[in-house]
Every structure is written in structure tokens, then in C-alpha cells.
Structure 1
Amino acid sequence: MTAREARRMTNKTPPEGTTLFLIGMSMPRLRHPGAWLAVFLAMPRMLVYLKRNPDAGLLSGRLYVGPSIMVVSYWRSAEDIRRFAADAQAPHLPAWRWFNKRFADRNAVGIWHETYVIGEHETITSGMPPWGLAEAVGAVPVGPGTKTAAQRSRHNVAEMSHSV
């Protein structure tokens, strides 16, 4: 393995059901911070709760703040996400009910999410610590059979079909 290849990592085969969950918010009315600030502050509280309660199913998550706000998270399963969302003792459900009562249909703050069960995928990190799925499920060096995106995708599909 060359020194360059030693720096390149791809994800270990994730357990069946591993799920990518993207959630974010938009602030169409920046001049109304009372509307979006409370929604924004709810997300770090949820991430802290999830990190302190690993049985909830979060494998890893990162908050991104820029022109829009987004959390990229990996979970053991889509069912774990749904269970967390519906748990009255966890911070999501009370915050969701509050949001719907105060801000739904007011065009002051928007929330979106997307859920993807990992299947056909490929990842790579180079010159940095494992990131994303490789951080969530573990990383392995890129090597024979995983040097290109197409090879990594085929490898992950084959590995996941063997684990079923």
C-alpha cells in the first residue's frame, strides 16, 4: 500500500438498516429571530440528548451552520428515528408540538428532513479523519477492490447482501 493509499479511507460495511437522516431549517424571515432562534436552539439540545442516550440509536451526527442549517446524522435504523421522534420523554416530540402550535403555516421558519436507509452507496475520505458513514460505522483503508467509486459501491452492495 502506498503512503497516498494509506491516507484514503472508506467505510466498513454498515450493519443492515443503517440509516442516513438529514434535517434542516430555513429562515425565510431573518428579521423575525423570535421565530427561528428557538427552533434553531432546539436542535443542539436534541443532539446532546442523543449523545447521552446511545440506546436511542444515533451513531453520529454533525450540525452545520451556514446559509442554511442542517444536521447530517447516521442511525442504527429508520425505526430508531421514528421511535425517538414519537418519544414524549425525549426532546423532539415536545419541540415538534410547540413548533406546530406556534409557527406552522406562518412562513417564519421552515423545517425539512430526508431519511435514507443505506444500500447502494460509496464513501471516501482523504487527508482527514473518517467522516460521515465511515465515522459512524468505522473506516477501512482504500485498497484493492475499493480504489474507485464504482468499486466501492459494488463492494458495499456485495458485502451488505452477504450479511442478510
Structure 2
Amino acid sequence: MTVLRERLCAETREDIVVFAIGMRINRIWKPWKWLPVLFEMPPMLKEQAADPAIGLLSTRFMFGGRNIGVLQHWRSTEDLHAYAHGAGRLHMAAWQEFNARIGTSGDVGIWHETYAVPATRIESIFVNMPAYGLGVAGPLFSAKGDRASARKRLRRGAELPSGDR
């Protein structure tokens, strides 16, 4: 990945969905419980990446102690739900397997959060970074002038004519 040695920001004229999903290893001494959950995510991510039409814009892994997660940007909640409930997609089978094998035993936790974000309320900054997050999902711009600060970037987004979103 090429480090872009400048101040950049990403913009979108469309609303987006930020989706965070992950697992927490509650009982580390039971790898036969949590390893299958861990190994179910990579094939789903591969399936998502193979089909740009589903509406996934970017994916980034997150690690922290017993938590392993993924942060994604999606085109819409409709696209996200269509993937999650789609016949023949890996997600529904993985969800059913989790409920059958783990349920509410407490061995492994899973979580997700969905944020539907209007284009008028999005701002970002990237300094000395490869394309990341929204910078993968959409175009990057030099963070100068009316894009020089978070306040200016948010003001700029709020001033977008509704027809430009």
C-alpha cells in the first residue's frame, strides 16, 4: 500500500452505512467454541469482495484484546440487509450455525452496530496514510481551503444541494 504523504479527505455525495461487526472471545480456554466463529468471517468477506454489485464500499479489520471485528462502509441499509438475508449467501448459514452451536452459552459473544449516515454529516481526514476507510469507498481530495478543518468539511457537506446527494 502506498502511503499518501499529504493531508487528504474523502467525500461522498451519497448517504452511507457504517457497519461494525465482530466477536468477543469470552472463554479463551474453549478454542473449539470460538475458532469456528472466527473462521466463518474470512469466507464471508471474500464473498462480499467478489461481488461489487452488493453495495459494499470498504472493509477494515479491527483487533483489540479478546475482540476481533470488521468495520465496513456500505452503500445503503437495504444493500446490507439484502446481503445478510440473501438466499445462498454465507451469512445466514453462519448465523444459524452460531445459534445452534453457541446460542446464549456465553462462550463467544458476537455484536454488530449499524449507522446510517447522511452525506451532509460526514467528514474525514487522512495524513500520511494509504487509502483508508472512506478513502477506499470514495474519492480523496486535498484537505485545503474549504476542506482544511473538520468544521469546514462538515459545513461543506451540509451545504450540498439536495440534488447533488
TM-score higher than 0.5? yes
- Which runs of structure 1 show a deviation greater than 6 angstroms over 4 or more consecutive aligned residues? none
AA partner of residue 123 (structure 1)? S
Q: Is the 8 A contact 1:13 1:160 kept in 2?
A: no
AA partner of residue 87 (structure 2)? A
AA partner of residue 156 (structure 1)? G
For structure 1, which segment, 108-117 or 148-157, has the greater mean C-alpha deviation from structure 2 after superposition?
148-157
TM-superposed deviation, 1:163: 2.3
Q: Is the 8 A contact 1:14 1:160 kept in 2?
A: no
2: CA distance between counterparts of 1:158 and 1:38?
Answer: 47
* Structure 1 residues 18-54: Cα deviation after superposition (integer angstroms, max 9, x where no partner): 2110111101100111111111111111110000011
1:95 aligned onto 2:94? yes
CA RMSD after TM alignment: 1.6
Q: Is the 8 A contact 2:19 2:112 kept in 1?
A: yes
Q: Is the 8 A contact 1:23 1:114 kept in 2?
A: yes
Q: Is the 8 A contact 2:11 2:122 kept in 1?
A: no
Q: Is the 8 A contact 2:20 2:70 kept in 1?
A: yes
TM-superposed deviation, 1:97: 0.6
| Corresponding residue SS for 2:112 | strand
Aligned length: 158
What's 1:42 paired with? Answer: 40
1:142 aligned onto 2:143? yes
1: CA distance between counterparts of 2:30 and 2:78?
Answer: 35
2: CA distance between counterparts of 1:153 and 1:160?
Answer: 14
What's 1:3 paired with? Answer: none
What's 1:63 paired with? Answer: 61
Q: Runs of 5+ in structure 1 lacking a partner?
A: 1-5
* Structure 1 residues 124-146: Cα deviation after superposition (integer angstroms, max 9, x where no partner): 00011221112211211111111
| Corresponding residue SS for 1:104 | coil
